[in-house]
């Protein structure tokens, strides 16, 4: 008989988005830290899944801890930059990057080289680029027109902040798509690459996906058969803004309300 491993049984998994759910830019969502701590103590396995590719998992964990007080760990964070690198399927590049440090760090971990030369790139990885310039946009398009793969970390149209919705990675991906005439391969929510990484993090038991963006967070939950929870602290302010195809299983005002909702 196989020995029974005495692992701490999880009563379920909470797959939690970051921007618009846990924090907005540099401000925590009120009550988020307390709710995460409560869920953790109740025995839920908490995994943070972000389409934001500007930070590495360890940087996201530090940000969660600093902003909310919940002591998130690097191993709890799954990001679209890591998912984008898995789409390379072991190819070590070189890759032209239009995006932030999170992509470069994920490439470094996987041993993927970077190039500034559009003629040398075997792939272009595009994410949210807060230093966007015409020169990089041009080089990304030249690389893709020259035959490099076009990989997008995600296509979120916007980025929720306390000041409103800023342009997201999808706005940059769209610019390249228009100029190159090529469709991107997309890694982040709701697509397969990031779902595979999430499944590696799950413990046995039910899965609740908590997110603010219907076409990524809620769509992913639906594809996987997980329970979707929409919070109204990010890109959607009212439940009636959600299209029927993305209708969530549960709508909460904020992440702060999740522990109580899961008890009932």
Binding-residue pattern over the window 172 to 191 for Mg ion, x denoting contact by CB under 5 A: --------------------
Single out the residue of 12, 20, 99, 118 in contact with Mg ion (rule: CB under 5 A): 20
Task: Considering only the stretches 37-45, 60-68, 75-83, 234-242, report the one whose residues sit in contact with Mg ion under the rule CB under 5 A.
Answer: 234-242
Determine whether 40 is an active site residue.
no
215 touches Mg ion by CB under 5 A = no
Cα–Cα distance measured from residue 121 to residue 244, given in angstroms and rounded to the nearest whole number:
41
Task: Considering only the stretches 5-13, 19-27, 69-77, 168-176, report the one whose residues sit in contact with Mg ion under the rule CB under 5 A.
Answer: 19-27
212 touches Mg ion by CB under 5 A = yes
Pair 76, 61: CB distance under 8 Å:
yes
Pair 213, 207: CB distance under 8 Å:
no
Single out the residue of 14, 19, 44, 118 in contact with Mg ion (rule: CB under 5 A): 19
Query: Which residue number, 121 or 209, has a Cβ lying nearer to Mg ion?
Result: 209
82 touches Mg ion by CB under 5 A = no
Query: Which residue number, 18 or 142, has a Cβ lying nearer to Mg ion?
Result: 18
The nearest distance, CB 105 to Mg ion, in angstroms, is 21
Query: Which residue number, 115 or 233, has a Cβ lying nearer to Mg ion?
Result: 233
* Tokens at 37, concatenated: 């701590």
Pair 15, 208: CB distance under 8 Å:
yes
Single out the residue of 12, 14, 15, 17 in contact with Mg ion (rule: CB under 5 A): 17
Query: Which residue number, 17 or 129, has a Cβ lying nearer to Mg ion?
Result: 17
Task: Considering only the stretches 60-68, 116-124, 176-184, 212-220, report the one whose residues sit in contact with Mg ion under the rule CB under 5 A.
Answer: 212-220
The nearest distance, CB 90 to Mg ion, in angstroms, is 30
Task: Considering only the stretches 1-9, 17-25, 53-61, 86-94, report the one whose residues sit in contact with Mg ion under the rule CB under 5 A.
Answer: 17-25
The nearest distance, CB 163 to Mg ion, in angstroms, is 16
Query: Which residue number, 20 or 93, has a Cβ lying nearer to Mg ion?
Result: 20
Nearest CA to 82 out of 171, 195, 214 is that of 195
Pair 172, 129: CB distance under 8 Å:
yes
Query: Which residue number, 162 or 181, has a Cβ lying nearer to Mg ion?
Result: 162
* Tokens at 256, concatenated: 């702060």
Strand pairing partners for 227? Answer: 208
The nearest distance, CB 83 to Mg ion, in angstroms, is 15
Cα–Cα distance measured from residue 251 to residue 162, given in angstroms and rounded to the nearest whole number:
21
Determine whether 19 is an active site residue.
yes
Q: Which residues are catalytic?
A: 17, 19
Residues binding Mg ion (CB under 5 A): 17, 19-20, 212-213, 234
């Amino acid at each position: 008989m196989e020995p029974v491993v005495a692992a701490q049984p999880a009563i379920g998994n909470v797959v939690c988005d970051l921007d618009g759910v846990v924090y907005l830019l540099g401000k925590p969502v009120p009550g988020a830290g307390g709710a995460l701590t409560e869920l953790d103590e109740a025995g839920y396995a908490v995994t943070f899944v972000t389409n934001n590719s500007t930070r590495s998992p360890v940087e996201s964990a530090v940000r969660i801890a600093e902003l909310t007080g919940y002591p998130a760990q690097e191993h709890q964070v799954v990001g679209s930059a890591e998912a984008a690198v898995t789409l390379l399927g072991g190819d070590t590049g070189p890759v032209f990057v239009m995006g932030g440090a999170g992509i470069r760090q994920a490439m470094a971990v996987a041993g993927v080289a970077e190039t500034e030369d559009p003629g040398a790139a075997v792939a272009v990885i595009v994410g949210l680029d807060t230093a966007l310039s015409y020169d990089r946009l041009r080089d990304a398009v030249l690389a893709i027109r020259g035959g490099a793969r076009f990989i997008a970390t995600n296509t979120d149209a916007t980025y929720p902040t306390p000041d409103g919705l800023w342009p997201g990675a999808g706005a940059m991906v769209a610019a390249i798509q228009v100029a190159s005439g090529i469709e991107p391969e997309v890694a982040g929510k709701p697509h397969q690459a990031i779902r595979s990484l999430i499944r590696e993090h799950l413990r046995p038991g039910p899965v609740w996906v908590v997110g603010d963006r219907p076409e990524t967070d809620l769509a992913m939950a639906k594809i996987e058969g997980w329970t979707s929870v929409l919070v109204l602290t990010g890109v959607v302010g009212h439940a009636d803004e959600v299209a029927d195809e993305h209708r969530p299983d549960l709508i909460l005002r904020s992440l702060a309300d999740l522990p109580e909702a899961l008890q009932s």
